[in-house]
């Protein structure tokens, strides 16, 4: 009888925590939307001023970019000798993105690993896979942005940003390299006894992971395309000069550098860091106000896309679970 009561109490606590987490995520998303709306209102901008077609295009490009990173996450789990279904990997990835709106971003790891965990995917491997994907994604983003800037250095008015991209590539690339990552996992495994994780990381080699890094390049290019679509969606009077193709390389590299810099800075939300990158790359051309408004609009479109992808993933995963149980 006490065992049953303890189990019932544990189930109740877990259910309560899940409700609290959902409410916290909803609240933080509401705050983000409210703050974003306030920034547009203060500058006499409304949704009617934008091109709806380009906003949808931006959301579509972002969804494609996230799908590339989700495939990398699925591949990382496979390299760790786990066998999740593709729908489970993609679904857990999309749902976990809502956790990044809660300060600390630890919820991203918790949600993603818990959602993908099953008899075919261990929790420790899922958590390890999150770090493989995140570090690899950031390293590839910094390198991609650096290469774009290097090939278009003549349009770069602030050369410091190029050096920043090289520094970010090094900061993210070193821990993402398979040999060092394997050593780190072995070090943790000896102290935490994570099961057979040391055996599972034997397939984590540069040769095996490199194809997924190439997929990540595609993901970052799609995210850059999402920014280009946002710039097209704005009314022309917002920017100092009309948006044209010459700005495209700066805009595409801006997305990757801002995200990577915000992540590596460890500052909550990358406050101040992302704004510096955006202003340094786009400010001289679009104007400070135009550059910041573009970043705000991009944040809102991405948020809406993430919510829709998460809702769709929850529905699909529940339907599949119901089918398997019948």
- What percentage of the chain exceeds 70 in pLDDT? 75
Write out the DSSP string of 138-204. HHHHHHHHHHHHHHTGGG-S-THHHHHHHHHHHHHHHHHSHHHHHHHHHHHHHHH--SSHHHHGGG-
Nearest residue to 157 (alpha-carbon basis) of 166, 165, 145, 149: 149
Secondary structure class of 80 (helix, strand, coil): coil
pLDDT at residue number 269? 53
Q: pLDDT value at position 212?
A: 94
* pLDDT top residue among 161 and 129: 129
Instruction: Tell me what the mean pLDDT of segment 210-216 comes to.
Output: 94
What is the maximum span of the chain, computed from C-alpha positions, in angstroms? 75
Tell which wins on pLDDT, 101 or 231.
231
| Tokens linked to 32 | 């983000």
Mean pLDDT of 242-265: 81
Q: What is the mean pLDDT of residues 133-149?
A: 89
What distance in Å separates the CA atoms of residue 40 and residue 126, rounded to the nearest whole number? Answer: 39
Q: What is the mean pLDDT of residues 153-173?
A: 76
Residue 207 CA to residue 217 CA, distance in Å, equals 16
The C-alpha atoms of residue 175 and residue 180 are separated, in whole angstroms, by 6
**pLDDT score recorded for residue 3:** 47
| pLDDT category of residue 35 using cuts at 50, 70 and 90 | low
Mean pLDDT of 219-239: 89
298 Cβ partners below 8 Å, 6+ apart? 58, 226, 227, 230, 255
Q: Reply yes or no on whether the pLDDT at 263 is more than 70.
A: yes
**pLDDT for 294:** 84
Q: Among 12-16, 148-152, 211-215, 317-321, which stretch is predicted with the lowest mean pLDDT?
A: 12-16
More confident residue, 93 or 177: 93
Distance separating alpha carbons of residues 33 and 305, to the nearest angstrom: 13
Of 52-61, 62-71, 253-262, minimum mean pLDDT range: 253-262
């Amino acid at each position: 009888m006490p065992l049953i009561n303890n189990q019932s109490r544990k189930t109740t606590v877990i259910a309560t925590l899940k409700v609290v987490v959902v409410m916290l995520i909803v609240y933080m998303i509401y705050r983000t939307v409210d703050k974003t709306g306030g920034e547009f209102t203060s500058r006499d901008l409304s949704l009617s001023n934008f091109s709806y077609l380009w906003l949808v295009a931006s959301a579509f490009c972002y969804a494609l970019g996230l799908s590339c990173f989700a495939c990398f996450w699925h591949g990382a789990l496979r390299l760790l000798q786990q066998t999740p279904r593709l729908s489970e990997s993609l679904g857990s990835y999309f749902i976990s993105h809502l956790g990044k709106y809660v300060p600390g971003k630890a919820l991203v790891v918790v949600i993603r690993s818990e959602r993908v965990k099953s008899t075919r995917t261990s929790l420790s491997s899922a958590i390890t896979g999150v770090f493989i994907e995140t570090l690899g994604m950031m390293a590839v983003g910094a390198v991609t942005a650096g290469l774009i800037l290097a090939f278009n250095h003549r349009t770069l008015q602030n050369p410091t940003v190029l050096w920043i991209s090289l520094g970010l590539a090094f900061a993210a690339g070193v821990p993402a390299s398979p040999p060092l990552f394997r050593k780190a996992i072995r070090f943790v495994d000896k102290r935490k006894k994570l099961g057979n994780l040391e055996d599972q990381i034997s397939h984590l080699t540069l040769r095996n992971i490199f194809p997924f890094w190439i997929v990540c390049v595609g993901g970052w290019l799609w995210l850059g395309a999402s920014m280009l679509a946002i710039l097209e969606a704005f009314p022309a009077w917002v920017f100092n000069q009309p948006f044209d193709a010459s700005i495209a390389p700066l805009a595409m590299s801006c997305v990757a550098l801002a995200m990577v810099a915000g992540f590596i800075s460890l500052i909550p939300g990358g406050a101040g860091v992302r704004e510096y990158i955006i202003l340094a790359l786009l400010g001289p051309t679009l104007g400070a106000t135009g550059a910041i408004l573009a970043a705000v609009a991009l944040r809102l479109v991405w948020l809406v896309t993430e919510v829709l992808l998460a809702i769709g993933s929850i529905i699909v995963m529940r339907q599949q679970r119901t089918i398997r149980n019948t």
